[in-house]
A = this chain, B = another copy of it.
Amino acid sequence: MSKTIELIFDFVSPNAYLIWQPLSDLAEKHGATIEITPTFLGGMHKLTGNAPPFIRDAEVKGKNDYAMLEMNRFIKKHGLTKFQMNPKFPFNTITLQRMLIALPPEKRAGFIATLLPAIWEQGLDVTDSETLGKILQDGGFDASALLARTQDPAMKKELIDNTEKAVARGAFGIPTIYIDGEMYFGKERLGQIDEQLSA
């Protein structure tokens, strides 16, 4: 039976970009399926009292420098050399996350694969709806229909529910991954995920 990798996802996290390709490669290696759960990291932070590491660790000498070293090692190891910080980071992803919710589950991976490079390689300003719309159309998505769906109260509610449920299950950041009930947080867990999928 094919295994399922549940990915608690928000476009705002650079680590969501960094883990995407290596995790997709692991899924392919093991014939597993990635199931996307769109959540809103800002809401997750409010609910848990967490904050982005670049803020939380800013006053600790050496800690963010080391995080940057590890980020660069990860980029090198996985050949993610096109990555660059988005100039508008931390940007508001609520519209994008509601679009993800509005999509049928089987189209979410394609939506992510279309937008991650735009945001985390080409520096897309996600509030620039014209450029965003063009990228989505080019990727085969009906941008204006999706945009309209983001105002649907059911989409709004589902994003809030997903975020609350993720927190109730122990998530406090992005990316969080569940496989058969086992939780993994962060981009450092690929080795363990590989081991679990091999078992």
Task: Spell out A's residues near B (CB within 8 Å).
Answer: 47-50, 59-63, 65-66, 69, 73, 167, 170-172, 183, 185, 188, 191-192
Contacts and interface: CB of A to CB of B under 8 A. Distances in A.
A183 B63 CA distance: 12
Contacts of A48: 60-63
Copies of this chain, complex-wide, total: 2
A17 to B, nearest CB: 21
Contacts of A63: 48, 50, 172
Contacts of A73: 192
A109 B178 CA distance: 39
Give 4 closest A-B pairs by Cβ, nearest first.
A48-B61, A62-B172, A50-B60, A62-B170
Contacts of A188: 188
11 contacts: A47-B61, A48-B60, A48-B61, A49-B59, A50-B63, A61-B167, A62-B170, A65-B170, A66-B172, A69-B183, A73-B192
Nearest to A195: B77
A47 B47 CA distance: 31
